[in-house]
Amino acid sequence: MTWKFDKKITKIFDDHIIRSVPGYIDGHDFIISASKNILSNGSKVLDVGCSNGSLLNKIDKKLGLDISYYGIDISKDMITSAKKNKTSKRINFYEKEIHQLKNKDFDLIISYFTLQFVSPSKKISFIKNVYNKLNNNCYFLIFEKVIENSGFMQNFLNLAYNDFKEKNRFSPDEILKKSNSLRGVMHPLTREENFKNFRLCNFKNINLLYKNMFFEGYIMKK
Ligand SMILES: C[S@@+](CC[C@H](N)C(=O)[O-])C[C@H]1O[C@@H](n2cnc3c(N)ncnc32)[C@H](O)[C@@H]1O
């Protein structure tokens, strides 16, 4: 079975992703904290691949500012769920890809474990669209699952990640099935490859913000 962000997944999404991604909540908290430095009344924020919209709801609640929030996702079921969960009229969700958005004046664009699902041939176009839709001197915050450069590290972290999943009550059979279902669906790169792509799309001040096993967060500026 191929992995899909469909209705079945929306029902179990929060529990599943928290048990699957080490530091999932910490990453959200990190973004909320960074948002406090970046945003003010009148700012515009875009979350690409917002899933059920929980991150934008959390940022809005913590900041309590007059900010316009846009969440987009290619999954119709995720957007239906995001619209149901929405906690403020400042937040809007759309079933769209980034190139379909007309706005070009965002102060912050977030991609939280989304680019890894974009096929290798479309990654540059995705990042260029992010760049073009930001105001000058504004920020792109992106978290990605990565692969390691060294075989030693890849193997070491694989074992640690399997232990993490077993500790979080996934059976060996579930771990194998999930990993097979992601073949051809998830396309992670190394940090160096990601940074090269960001530079190619003209981003500057590209920095590693966070790392937990294979899961990394980066911040950069237009
Ligand atoms: C791992 S989930 C993202 C988790 C979410 N950002 C969060 O904070 O919980 C990946 C999401 O990206 C969406 N997605 C995949 N490719 C996309 C694309 N090209 N544009 C927008 N969304 C995309 C999927 O439908 C899915 O909802």
- pLDDT reading at 151 higher than 90: yes
Q: What share of the chain is helix, strand, coil (3-state, %, to 5)?
A: 45, 25, 30
Angle, vertex CA 145, rays to CA 188 and CA 221, nearest 5: 95
Q: In the prediction, which pLDDT does 52 show?
A: 97
Q: How far is the centre of ligand 1, averaged over its atoms, from the C-alpha of 49 (Å)?
A: 3
73 lines ligand 1 (CB under 6 A): yes
Most informative mutation of 3, 51, 128 for ligand 1 (most atoms within 8 A of CB): 51
pLDDT in tens, 74-115: 999 999 999 999 999 999 999 999 999 999 999 999 999 999
Q: How far is the centre of ligand 1, averaged over its atoms, from the C-alpha of 154 (Å)?
A: 24
Most informative mutation of 3, 75, 99, 101 for ligand 1 (most atoms within 8 A of CB): 75
pLDDT in tens, 55-71: 999 999 999 999 999 99
Considering the four listed CATH numbers 3.40.50.410, 1.10.275.10, 1.10.4160.10, 3.40.50.150, the one that applies to the domain covering 7-221 is 3.40.50.150
193 lines ligand 1 (CB under 6 A): no
pLDDT band at 116 (very low <50, low <70, confident <90, very high): very high
Q: How far is the centre of ligand 1, averaged over its atoms, from the C-alpha of 152 (Å)?
A: 30
Mean pLDDT of the chain: 97
pLDDT band at 1 (very low <50, low <70, confident <90, very high): confident
Q: In the prediction, which pLDDT does 30 show?
A: 96
Angle, vertex CA 2, rays to CA 163 and CA 71, nearest 5: 85
Q: Is residue 148 exposed (0-12), middle (13-18) or buried (19+ Cβ within 10 Å)?
A: middle
What are the domain boundaries of the chain? 7-221
In angstroms, the CA 46 to CA 28 distance is: 14
Q: How far is the centre of ligand 1, averaged over its atoms, from the C-alpha of 186 (Å)?
A: 11
